[in-house]
């Protein structure tokens, strides 16, 4: 018998090593456990607590006996002025999302197609600047620009000394402008991720077939960037509906939105159940809106296919 045959270790029986191997589902669960544990502690538990508060007549921290009731969810019926405030909040959210979509798409298109190298890195840094600045400082800076006698008026009077004031602080356009400044990076980044994955050969093929730039934009780039636009719209519309800092500072008396009303219930009136009920009611409205538009998007995508 050859010596190399004697030195060769005996083969392990089938399944011996597999008996000590952890199941694949166990490894996946171990990797996901920290993430889902954090989501449970930081998001789901606070949401469940606020949901329970919304059905109480008073917070359990007080001395009043706690009784479960649905009266706070009837606020839009018993207090009709809340319907107008909710509608104003939705209008502000729609305008902010629309402007962010238009500006963000073309900024992302320029970033993905017209720049490269160091220029692209510089533009990305400029886009991310709002994330690196304090939100309160950013909003108060707009008051210095938009107020009467502010930067806009100084700039106009340097060119046209006899012109009147063009300051529009404490108006709804001022609120929308502040919100667009804060949430535009979300739209740019999501659209950029969608546009940068489009192969240049597709655009070159459309150009070689005689397609004009408008046709390429509407029939090629826009449909292929639709997932990024949809994601950016969700990331913009949802927090804008509940924003309270920009409406309160830039809107003044006209800056009464659902965000400011809910904030007042928690900080001024100390009526946490009503604030929680208003929050979940607006959340239901937002989910209904996105459910409607998701069906429209699916039908339009199917039509294009």
User: Which tokens belong to 151?
Assistant: 């930067």
**Does the pLDDT at position 72 exceed 80?**
yes
Helix, strand, coil content of the chain in percent (nearest 5): 75, 0, 25
**Does the pLDDT at position 176 exceed 50?**
yes
- Domain boundaries in the chain? 82-272
Within a 10 A sphere around the Cβ of 157, how many other Cβ atoms? 15
Measured CA to CA, the distance from residue 67 to residue 81 in angstroms comes to 26
Residue 15: strand, helix, or coil:
coil
Confidence of residue 303 (pLDDT cuts 50, 70, 90): very low
Measured CA to CA, the distance from residue 42 to residue 242 in angstroms comes to 19
- How high is the pLDDT of residue 115? 62
User: Domain 82-272 has what CATH class?
Assistant: mainly alpha
Residue pLDDT, tens place only, 11-35: 555 544 545 566 677 778 888 888 8
The answer to which of 110-114, 227-231, 265-269, 279-283 has the lowest mean pLDDT is 110-114
Confidence of residue 59 (pLDDT cuts 50, 70, 90): confident
């Amino acid at each position: 018998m050859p010596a190399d045959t004697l030195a060769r270790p005996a083969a392990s029986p089938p399944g011996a090593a597999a008996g000590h191997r952890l199941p694949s589902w166990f490894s996946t669960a171990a990797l996901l456990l920290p993430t889902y544990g954090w989501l449970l502690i930081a998001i789901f538990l606070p949401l469940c607590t606020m949901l329970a508060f919304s059905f109480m007549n008073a917070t359990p921290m007080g001395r009043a006996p706690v009784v479960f009731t649905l009266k706070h969810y009837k606020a839009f019926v018993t207090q009709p002025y809340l319907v107008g405030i909710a509608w104003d909040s939705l209008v502000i959210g729609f305008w902010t999302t629309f402007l962010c979509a238009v500006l963000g798409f073309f900024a992302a298109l320029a970033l993905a197609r017209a720049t490269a190298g160091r220029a692209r890195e510089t533009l990305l840094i400029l886009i991310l600047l709002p994330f690196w600045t304090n939100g309160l400082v950013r909003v108060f800076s707009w008051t210095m620009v938009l107020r009467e006698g502010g930067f806009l008026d100084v700039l106009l009077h340097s060119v046209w000394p006899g012109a009147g004031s063009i300051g529009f602080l404490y108006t709804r356009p001022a609120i929308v402008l502040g919100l667009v400044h804060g949430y535009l990076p979300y739209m740019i980044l999501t659209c950029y991720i969608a546009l940068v994955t489009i192969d240049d050969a597709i655009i070159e093929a459309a150009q070689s077939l005689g397609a004009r730039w408008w046709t390429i934009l509407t029939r090629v780039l826009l449909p292929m960037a639709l997932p990024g636009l949809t994601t950016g719209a969700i990331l913009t519309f949802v927090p804008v509906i509940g924003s309270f800092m920009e409406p309160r500072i830039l809107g003044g008396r006209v800056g009464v939105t659902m965000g400011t009303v809910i904030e007042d219930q928690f900080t001024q009136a100390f009526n946490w159940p009503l604030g929680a009920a208003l929050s979940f009611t607006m959340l239901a409205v937002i989910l209904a809106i996105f459910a409607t538009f998701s069906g429209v998007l699916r039908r339009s995508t199917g039509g294009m296919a």
